[in-house]
């Protein structure tokens, strides 16, 4: 089955009652991205023109406990990968404990394939700042932090500017909008470490230490930053809160499913005709996204894809109709993760792809626990040998075995993430591994996978 | 820190403490550092931004810089060194004005990042982490930089150069070496690595127009929005940079990943993304071709 636009509508199970809905106007739901195409979309002026900070006014009219309950009832779940209900995270913060409370926004977006928070912050940083003020009011925090990965200076500039604007307009600082709420917001640039996207490693890093994960319990809600109650939320989760307040929880629940309500950003990348950000209700399928956007690049077929970054087990074209929500992807054997839909066509060598991801995990393993530190190291050695045609058949079981000794046995989720591509690629593409071994090398030509490969062909046609 | 006989001690003695900054430099940096420390409830949180700050002074994190951080934060230099060596953005030796990082994580690598990276290595005559003789460009391969919908991506001083080709990347480094003003696809006209490090330390870029440079969202970020609004998706931009010529990329054999000729046949020793993972494999132990745990069941 090719996924070019012309035959994309054939022979599919219908997920919509009225048949194969392919109209992007009906399938997509731009909320956070609604005005990214406007001039100076990142400024306070433009944000206000789109009812910016109206959600905050509504929130401040509620009691903090009611606000937490409201966000809980909206059903908003964490957009950073795990899908934990956001309102519940807020509710876990002990109140009246006499300690400072902190909100830390995880803007360390580094999961391979994931590219939603960075464009969001580049085009619309005030949605995050408004969400931060609302969240801090709810959890009674007077100091919030944005932990932004350091390698994105253009985004850092706009965050600096947006925070300055928000202070000047009275959305940050003392007695915000006359509510009595005081809030300081600090933008903190990281220094290059994937592991700092893990929430407890992020906290250690924010405390000026090596970014290594902490033992839990105690959970951050009890002992987080500076051993005080702390909420750690993903950028997109917090940025979604103002729209929920502004438009109402029922509006939010009108999108997506009962257990996965709302809208979210899907990031389409790889060998597709139109890579980019697609904001849609949860539960859209990759087939729908590809159908509306021109499919795979002309003349090529989808081979494998990730639903939510490299740490989520890969899918193949048999999974095109899996609803991309937490339950749907989970039931199909993977995880929704960050909704980073990396699509690879038939020119791509799975062994090469998995080797490179595994090298990434080995590079980024913090070294704290043995299964991950040693396991990722040995996976890389075996994979490099297989890719170079120096592997033996027993290496494949050994790969599985090592991945099994990392998965669930590592200190944090980085280890599980490293095991995912190994398990899933061996499950769907074992024959391709075997081909590397029996053929003493890689049967693929990497030149055919490049973005310009087909231009090259045409020139010489 | 081990002994360094070449420096004249040579008796198994520990390295002497690093010299401090000159007084005027120290005073200037201390003012900045105090401002950073004041942002946090606990002073140690200032360490990462302060390491960016000392990097903005000398272009890399020196022993002097680490000593400065330790003294201001009441830490030992060992504690500071432990942190400085953990994070990949802190350089540990002098490097170029422009850090050119080619993404070679899976998606960008497949889309052409590997070809770009090996072409730049050959074009510049440097390897990973090495700097050109003129001190302008330090070449690196980097990990996923959250711009996969713009693949293949090259970062220069952590500004985005989207949808690169072998040709556009070569032109980019040539322009950097010539001293031309270079603007990224997304981000502000390039400043030096040191100036970038100062922004990372939390001091906003004061240049006129820096925040608004390159406009709003990048074209790929708008793909879904334009479809939702019933507008046609923008055509794919292959040559994003102003002044770029429009020859077809990759249409010369020399553009096609020199040193990595098809069929794809990397060996562990020459792998493009060998990182700092140790290289030794069964290749170094031919008696055990199946690898490290060969005894069981073989």
pLDDT, mean of each 10-residue run, chain A (461 residues): 39 44 88 97 98 98 98 97 96 96 98 98 98 98 98 98 98 97 98 97 98 96 98 98 98 96 98 98 98 96 98 98 98 98 98 98 97 98 97 98 97 97 98 98 97 71 39
Percent of residues, chain B, with pLDDT higher than 90:
71
For an interface test with A, give the residue of B69, B149, B191 to mutate (most A CBs within 10 A).
Answer: B149
Of A342, A359, A392, the CB nearest to B107: A342
- The predicted structure's pLDDT at residue A17: 43
Q: Is A365 on the interface with B (CB under 8 A)?
A: no
* Beta carbons of A118 and B147 less than 8 Å apart: yes
Contacts of A445 in chain B (CB under 8 A): 262-264
Of A153, A207, A460, the CB nearest to B159: A153
Q: Is A46 on the interface with B (CB under 8 A)?
A: no
Query: Hey, what are B111's tokens?
Result: 């889309």
The residue assigned the tokens 């619309």 is: A124
SS3 of chain A = CCCCHHHCCCCCCCCCCCCCCCCHHHHCCCCCCCCCCCCCCCCHHHHHHCCCCHHHHHHHCCCHHHHHHHHHHHCCECCCCCCCEHHHHHHCCCCCCCCCCEEEEEECCCCCCCCCHHHHHHHCHHHHHHHHHHHHHHHCCCEEEEEECCCCHHHHHHHHHHHHHHHHCCCCECCHHHCCCCEEEEEEECCCCHHHHCHHHHHHHHCCCCCCCCCCCCCHHHHCHHHCCEEEEEHHHHHHHHHHHHHCHHHHHCCECCCCECEEEEEEEECECCCEEEEEECCCCHHHHHHHHCCECCCCCEEEEECCCCCCCCEEHHHCCCCCCHHHHHHCCCCCCCCEEEEEECCCCHHHHHHHHHHHHHHHCCCCCHHHHHHHHHHHHHHHHHHCCCCCCHHHHHHHHHHHHHCCCCCCHHHHHHHHHHHHHHHHHHHHHHHHHHCCCCCCCHHHHCCCHHHHHHHCC
Q: Which residues pair with A264 in a beta bridge?
A: A280
Chain-wide mean pLDDT for chain B? 82
Query: Hey, what are B36's tokens?
Result: 């950073």
CA torsion B133-B137-B140-B144 (nearest 10°) is 180
* Beta carbons of A276 and B220 less than 8 Å apart: yes
Interface ipTM: 0.94
Distances (CA, A) of B195 to A191, B56, B58: 15, 6, 10
- The predicted structure's pLDDT at residue B231: 87
Full DSSP string of B115-172: HHHHHHHHHHT--TT-B-TTS-EEEEEE---S-GGG-S-EEETTEEE-S--HHHHHHH
pLDDT in tens, chain B (298 residues): 444 445 555 677 778 899 999 999 999 999 999 999 999 999 999 999 999 999 999 999 999 999 999 999 999 999 999 999 999 999 999 999 999 999 999 999 999 999 999 999 999 999 999 999 999 999 999 999 999 999 999 999 999 999 999 999 999 999 999 999 999 999 999 999 999 999 999 999 999 999 999 999 999 999 999 999 998 654 443 333 433 334 344 333 344 333 333 344 434 333 334 343 434 444 444 444 443 333 333 3
Contacts of A358 in chain B (CB under 8 A): none
- The predicted structure's pLDDT at residue B13: 77
The whole-angstrom separation of Cα A239 and Cα B59 is 35
Q: Which residues contact A209 (CB under 8 A, 6 or more apart)?
A: B44, B47, B83
Distance from CA of A367 to the nearest CA of B (A): 10
- The predicted structure's pLDDT at residue A456: 55
* Beta carbons of A456 and B222 less than 8 Å apart: no
Distance from CA of B46 to the nearest CA of A (A): 6
Q: Which pTM was predicted?
A: 0.88
- The predicted structure's pLDDT at residue B7: 53
- The predicted structure's pLDDT at residue A22: 72
- The predicted structure's pLDDT at residue A455: 84
Q: Is A26 on the interface with B (CB under 8 A)?
A: no
For an interface test with A, give the residue of B51, B143, B144, B279 to mutate (most A CBs within 10 A).
Answer: B144
* Beta carbons of A268 and B223 less than 8 Å apart: yes
Do the bridges between strand A263-270 and strand A102-107 make them parallel or antiparallel, or are there none, so unpaired?
unpaired
Of B202, B215, B216, the CB nearest to A187: B202
Q: Is A54 on the interface with B (CB under 8 A)?
A: no
- The predicted structure's pLDDT at residue B276: 39
Distance from CA of B4 to the nearest CA of A (A): 27
CA torsion A224-A226-A232-A238 (nearest 10°) is 140
Q: Which residues contact A286 (CB under 8 A, 6 or more apart)?
A: A305, A307, A315, A319, A320, A322, A324, A341, A343
């Amino acid at each position: 089955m090719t996924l070019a636009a012309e035959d994309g509508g054939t022979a599919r199970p219908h997920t919509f009652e009225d048949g194969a809905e392919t109209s992007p106007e009906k399938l997509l739901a731009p909320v956070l991205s609604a005005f990214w195409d406007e001039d100076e979309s990142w400024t306070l002026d433009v944000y206000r023109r789109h009812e910016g900070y109206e959600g905050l006014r509504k929130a401040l009219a509620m009691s903090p406990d009611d606000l937490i309950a409201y966000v809980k009832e909206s059903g908003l779940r964490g957009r950073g990968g795990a899908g934990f209900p956001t309102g519940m995270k807020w509710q876990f913060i002990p109140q009246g404990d006499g300690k400072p409370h902190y909100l830390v926004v995880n803007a360390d977006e580094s999961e391979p394939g994931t590219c939603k928070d960075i464009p969001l912050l580049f085009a619309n940083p005030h949605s995050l700042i408004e969400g931060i003020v609302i969240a801090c009011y709810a959890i009674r925090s007077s100091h919030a932090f944005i932990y932004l990965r350091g390698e994105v200076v253009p985004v850092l500039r706009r965050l600096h500017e947006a925070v300055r604007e928000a202070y000047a307009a009275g959305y940050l600082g003392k007695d915000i909008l006359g509510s009595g709420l005081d809030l300081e917001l600090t933008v903190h640039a990281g220094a290059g470490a994937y592991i700092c996207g893990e929430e407890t490693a992020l906290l250690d890093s924010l405390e000026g230490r090596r970014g290594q994960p902490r033992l839990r319990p105690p959970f951050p809600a009890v002992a987080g930053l500076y051993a005080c109650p702390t909420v750690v939320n993903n950028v997109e989760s917090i940025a979604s809160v103002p729209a929920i307040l502004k438009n109402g929880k029922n509006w939010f629940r009108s999108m997506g499913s009962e257990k996965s309500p709302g809208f979210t950003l899907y990031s389409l990348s790889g060998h597709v005709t139109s890579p980019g950000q697609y904001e849609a209700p949860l539960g859209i399928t990759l087939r729908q996204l590809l159908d509306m956007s021109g499919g795979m690049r002309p003349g090529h077929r989808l081979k494998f894809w990730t639903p939510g970054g490299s740490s989520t087990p890969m899918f193949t074209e048999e999974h095109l109709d899996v609803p991309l929500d937490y339950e749907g992807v989970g039931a199909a054997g993977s995880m929704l993760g960050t909704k980073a839909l990396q699509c690879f066509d038939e020119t791509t060598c799975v062994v090469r792809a998995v080797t490179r991801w595994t090298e990434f995990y080995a590079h980024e393993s913090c070294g704290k626990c043995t299964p991950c530190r040693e396991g990722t190291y040995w996976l890389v050695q075996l994979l490099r040998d297989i890719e170079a045609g120096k592997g033996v058949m027993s290496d494949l079981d050994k790969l599985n075995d090592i991945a099994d000794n990392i998965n669930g046995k590592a200190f944090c989720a980085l280890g599980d993430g490293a095991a995912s591509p190994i398990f899933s690629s061996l499950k769907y593409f074992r024959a391709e591994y075997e081909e590397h071994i029996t053929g003493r090398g890689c049967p693929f030509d990497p030149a055919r996978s490049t973005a310009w490969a087909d231009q090259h062909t045409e020139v010489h046609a | 820190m081990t002994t360094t006989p070449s420096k004249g001690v040579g008796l198994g003695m520990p390295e002497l403490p690093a010299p401090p900054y000159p007084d005027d430099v120290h005073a200037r940096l201390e003012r900045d550092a105090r401002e950073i420390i004041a942002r946090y409830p606990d002073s140690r949180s200032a360490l990462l931004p302060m390491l960016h700050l000392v990097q903005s002074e000398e272009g890399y994190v020196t022993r002097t810089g680490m000593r400065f951080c330790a003294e201001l934060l009441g830490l030992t230099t060992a504690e500071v060194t432990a942190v400085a060596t953990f994070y990949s953005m802190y350089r540990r030796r002098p490097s170029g004005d422009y850090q050119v990082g080619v993404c070679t994580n899976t998606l960008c690598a497949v889309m052409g990042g590997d070809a770009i990276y090996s072409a730049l290595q050959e074009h510049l005559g440097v390897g990973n982490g090495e700097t050109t003789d003129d001190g302008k460009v330090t070449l690196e391969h980097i990990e996923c930089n959250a711009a996969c919908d713009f693949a293949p991506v090259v970062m220069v001083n952590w500004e985005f150069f989207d949808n690169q080709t072998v040709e556009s990347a070569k032109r980019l480094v040539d322009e950097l070496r010539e001293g031309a003003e270079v603007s990224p696809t997304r981000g502000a006209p390039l400043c030096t690595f040191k100036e970038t490090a100062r922004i990372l330390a939390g001091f906003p870029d004061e240049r006129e127009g820096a925040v608004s440079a390159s406009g709003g969202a990048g074209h790929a970020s708008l793909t879904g929005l334009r479809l939702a609004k019933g507008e046609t998706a923008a055509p794919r931009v292959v040559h994003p940079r102003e002044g770029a010529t429009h020859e077809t990329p990759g249409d010369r054999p020399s553009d096609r990943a020199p040193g990595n000729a098809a069929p794809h046949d990397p060996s562990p020793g020459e792998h493009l993304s060998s990182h700092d993972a140790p290289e030794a494999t069964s290749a170094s132990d031919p008696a055990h071709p199946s690898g490290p745990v060969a005894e069981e069941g073989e």
